Structure 1
Amino acid sequence: MMKVFKILETYKTQYENPVTLHTGEIVKLGEEEKEEKWKGWIWAENEVNKGWVPLQILEISLNKKEAKVLEYYTAKELNVDEDDEIVKIKSLNGWTWVRKIVNNAEGWIPDEIIG
């Protein structure tokens, strides 16, 4: 039985065109996230897009300017409303990949809005 959580406040997607990375791809790296609650994210760019990526899925080069992607990743965020019911799938660095019960839509949301 999966545990169901309620959303505490509405959250809307920050990036309309989220970055998607494939295993083995090489990305250029930018700045690491400085905010304490979201440490562990780094700005990354590929040929077609850019966005925040968890450090855990990257093998960073010695010069720290690029990295190899170790697993498929999408930065797709999920629009949720207060009192929506969700199931947690994977948590990383202050964010959780969730599935909305009502329509099975999936995406990342910040941990602080999960009840």
Structure 2
Amino acid sequence: MIESSYVVIHSHVSEFPEPMTLRTGDGVLVGERYDGPEGWPDWYFCTAPAQEPGFVPAQLLDRHVDGSAKMLEDFTNRELDVVEGQVLQGNRQLNGWLWAVRISDGATGWVPLDKVRLQD
């Protein structure tokens, strides 16, 4: 994957301090599609055994008619807390979010794309 540098233009603090960590093949129950004002498409509220519930992108779910699904790849919905001016390395975008590494300390997580801009 190609990594790009981003600068944080608006701070972000996670509202979900206990992220889900799922492995390829793990089963989840799929709930409602996220429909918030931010316009983040195709995130579904999921539950899994021994995990706090959370949102998972649709393209990582092999969905079944009974409302269950299997994970198509490893995934965590850990969000990265960031403050304006921080520099990040990002290598994946999904449904309005960027998977990033904070350069200052190596912490990783998802950041909303509207909170960052590609660095020149």
Same fold (TM over 0.5): yes
Give the unaligned 5+ runs of structure 1: none
Partners of 2:4 and 2:91 within 8 A in 1: no
Instruction: State how far apart, in whole Å, the 2-side matches of 1:42 and 1:102 are.
Output: 31
Matching residue within 33, 39, 42 for 2:41: 39
Deviations 1:2-53 (A, max 9, x none): 5321100111111010011111111111101123721110011001121000
Any idea what the Cα deviations from partners look like across 1:54-101, whole Å, max 9, x if unmatched? 0111100023x1101110000100010100001112100000100111
- The match for 1:59 is 62
Equivalent residue number for residue 75 of structure 1 = 77
The residue that corresponds to 2:7 in the other structure is 6
Moved over 6 A (4+): none
Match of 1:90 in 2: 92
| Superposition CA RMSD, Å | 1.5
The share of aligned pairs that are identical, in percent, is 31
Find the aligned partners of 2:3 and 2:115 in 1 and give their Cα distance.
Answer: 19
How high is the TM-score relative to the length of structure 2? 0.89
Distance 2:99 2:111 in 1: 7
Gaps of 5+ in 2: none
* CA–CA separation in structure 1 for the residues paired with 2:98 and 2:6: 12
Q: Distance in 2 between matches of 1:112 and 1:62?
A: 34
- Aligned residue-pair number: 114
